[in-house]
Amino acid sequence: MHYTFAGAETFARLTDDIRKAVSEGFDPRMLAGAPFLDEYALVPQPAAGLTGIVTGHPRIADGHRCFSTQVFHINTAQGVARTLNRWYRLGRPHGSERN
């Protein structure tokens, strides 16, 4: 049996993004067009992913709950997360109160 979850290009973009974020510091331009995820939480799937109310996702309607692919980088102080497929801008963590 042969199965490829994602192509080499996907992993190359993921690796480049994380390398830049860690070694060069995070550049906000990396988030151009990134979906916004409010009331987010890490969820244990076969691999840790994110869930939250999404805005600006290319395939999921605004205001719907989404479940991301595996999380490879998250920095809550900067409000960013990188999953296998894309960057997310993070809003409030799940369970936090609105101001």
What is the value of pTM for the model shown?
0.72
Nearest to 92 by CA among 74, 78, 79, 73: 79
Residue 5's alpha-carbon distances to 24, 63, 96, in angstroms, are: 29, 28, 34
Map out the domains of the chain as residue ranges: 35-99
Report the distance separating Cα 46 and Cα 48, nearest Å: 7
pLDDT mean values, one per 10 residues, the chain (99 residues): 66 89 82 89 85 94 93 89 93 84
Give the pLDDT of residue 73: 87
Element at 15 (helix H, strand E): helix 8-19
Give the pLDDT of residue 55: 96
Q: Identify whether the C-beta of residue 49 lies closer than 8 Å to the C-beta of residue 69.
A: yes
